[in-house]
Amino acid sequence: MELEERIAALRAQGDLGGAATEAIRGLGPAVLRYLRSLLRDEDDATEAFSQFAENLWRGLPAFRGDSAFRTWAYRLAWNAALDVRDGAWRRRGRRLRTREASALAEEVRTKTALAVERQRQALDRLRGALSVEDQSLLVLRVDQGLPWSEIAEILAEEGRKVAPAALMKRFERLKERLGRMARDQGLLE
């Protein structure tokens, strides 16, 4: 039985707790990867994932089935990421944790690791130059491999649908823009 079928069966039996548990266990790893890619900070991703899980648990009784359950779950994750990213507490700096300091020291000691870190930072800057909507589009399509129809539902705003064809065109322009930005920063020849 597929994940969506198992969730539907548990909901039909009235076992909302079981359905939520099944959903979080089944979709959780992919959603967490999505949030990590989008937020690029482990603490932020953890916070957003907790919010996602709580919203899924509380919102499950209201799920109408207008879209695939996975699409609905990613929509919850997208909203949680926006909430965490826009939260007032984000404006404050955070202290460097010991494990980060150790990781940084190791990178400095190793030339190869330093080059990799520089490349990662350059890619993070590229990604950071994008709007949160473009970042989400990139992650949902490239990292998560979701079909355009699901991405359109995830990124739709209340009462306003997004055409999958428009997202495809936007994605093509985004790829071109990223290529130009990478060339400008010397990441590509």
Q: What per-residue confidence (pLDDT) applies to 114?
A: 54
Average confidence (pLDDT) per 10 residues, the chain, 189 residues: 89 90 90 90 88 91 89 94 77 52 46 61 82 88 90 84 91 91 79
* Backbone CA torsion sign across 121, 122, 124, 129: positive
* CA gap 44, 85 in Å, rounded: 8
Q: What per-residue confidence (pLDDT) applies to 40?
A: 86
Q: What per-residue confidence (pLDDT) applies to 88?
A: 47
* CA gap 150, 103 in Å, rounded: 37
Structure pTM? 0.65
Q: What per-residue confidence (pLDDT) applies to 45?
A: 87
Q: What per-residue confidence (pLDDT) applies to 189?
A: 65
Q: How far is CA 45 from the centre of its chain?
A: 8
Architecture of the structural domain at 3-90? Orthogonal Bundle (1.10)
DSSP structure class, residue 63? -
- Residues carrying CATH 1.10.10, the chain: 108-184
- Residues carrying CATH 1.10.1740.10, the chain: 3-90
Q: For tokens 């990213």, what's the residue? A: 85
Q: What per-residue confidence (pLDDT) applies to 12?
A: 92
Q: What per-residue confidence (pLDDT) applies to 99?
A: 57
Q: What CATH number should be reported for the domain whose range is 108-184?
A: 1.10.10
